[in-house]
Amino acid sequence: MSYANEQEPDYYELFDVERDAPSIAIRRSYRRLMQQAGNHPDLGGDTRTAALINRAYAVLKDPEQRRLYDARLDILSRIAMGIDAEPERQPAPEPTDPRSTCLFCERPHDGILDDMAEPGCGSCSSPLRVVDRTRLDPDDNRAVRRLGRKLNVHVFAHWEQVKGAAARTVDISPHGLQLTTRMELRPGQRIRVTGQVLDAVGLVTHCARRNEGWRNLTVAGVSFLTLRILRPVGAFVSQTV
């Protein structure tokens, strides 16, 4: 079996299980595909086919990724039937008071003073300073614009996530950014974006999926909620002429 030159198949069809199959059935099918069917590279299988099977298993064994994948299949099914597939906009999360609560982990904090260097949340280290769209600090405004457009960053969907998903910004402004990542995201989701030059908590305002070869990428717009600009040596252009 080889899917190297085909469009990526339905993961459930690949595993020969129904969409409501329990996790144990998916695990058994995964083992059968990798071992009994000889797809594992150590057994002479094709590496790209093995990568596809591993990628499908990573999605179907994780409840949250599986839920998002099922939603995507529903949209594709509606498109195939000619039904309007415009996704229903998700309501924004209930407002959290950033003066006393971290916007990412939602743990209480002691607050920050305007004239203090921001220490970050004591629980998850996320930035606490809220982005005020009507009164952006001029220094931060200039700093963000000097970051450039394409940055390697990591995306965290929840504060207990140990390792962030790799992402790359497409564009960035003092108010937010656009990025691409292999992580599934959804409108209304609150995420954290970290990199060498910025640390932000933002709200996913819109997203879409696109294919680049065998990779499925999410293209998402993120509106900053809280932001910390990091200033390593050489990161910004001097204002001195």
So what's the pLDDT on residue 201? 95
Segment of 26-30, 135-139, 212-216 carrying the highest mean pLDDT: 26-30
- Confidence tier at 118 by pLDDT (50, 70, 90): low
- In this predicted structure, the answer to whether residue 52 has a pLDDT above a threshold of 90 is no
pLDDT of 122 reads 85
What letter would DSSP give residue 189? -
**60, two tokens:** 């179907």
86 pLDDT band, cuts 50/70/90, is: low
CB 135 within 8 A of CB 141: no
Q: How many CB atoms within 10 Å of residue 135?
A: 7
pLDDT band at 192 (very low <50, low <70, confident <90, very high): very high
SS3 content of the chain, % helix, strand, coil (to 5): 25, 25, 50
Share of the chain above pLDDT 90, in %: 21
Average pLDDT, the chain: 77
CB 208 within 8 A of CB 86: no
Contacts 24+ apart (CB under 8 A), 108-112: none
Q: Which two tokens stand for residue 188?
A: 């209304």
Give the pLDDT of residue 212.
67
CA distances from 56 to 70, 81, 123, 132, 138 (A): 12, 25, 33, 41, 46
pLDDT at residue 38 in the model: 65
For residue 194, count CB atoms less than 10 angstroms from its CB and return exposed for 0-12, middle for 13-18, buried for 19 or more.
buried
Q: Reply yes or no on whether the pLDDT at 4 is more than 60.
A: no
Q: How confident is the model at residue 230 (pLDDT cuts 50, 70, 90)?
A: confident
Q: How confident is the model at residue 237 (pLDDT cuts 50, 70, 90)?
A: very low
**Residue 138: φ, ψ to 5°:** -55, -35
CA distance 79 to 74: 9
Check whether 12 has a pLDDT greater than 70: yes
DSSP-derived 3-state class of residue 1: coil
**Environment class of 199 (CB within 10 Å of its CB; exposed 0-12, middle 13-18, buried 19+):** buried
Three-class SS state of 80: helix
The confidence score (pLDDT) of residue 133 equals 59
pLDDT attached to residue 236: 36
Could you tell me where the beta strands, DSSP code E, fall in 46-175? Answer: 152-156, 165-173
pLDDT of residue 94 exceeding 80: no
Higher pLDDT, 114 or 11: 11
> pTM (2 decimals)?
0.55
Phi, psi of 172 (to 5 degrees): -150, 145
CA distance 236 to 241: 14
Which structural domains are found in the chain, ordered by start? Answer: 11-80 (1.10.287.110), 90-241 (2.40.10)
pLDDT higher than threshold 80 for residue 77? no
pLDDT in tens, 141-184: 555 555 556 889 999 998 888 899 999 998 888 788 999 999 98
| Averaged pLDDT, 199-206 | 92
Which residues have C-beta within 8 Å of that of residue 116, sequence separation ≥ 6? none
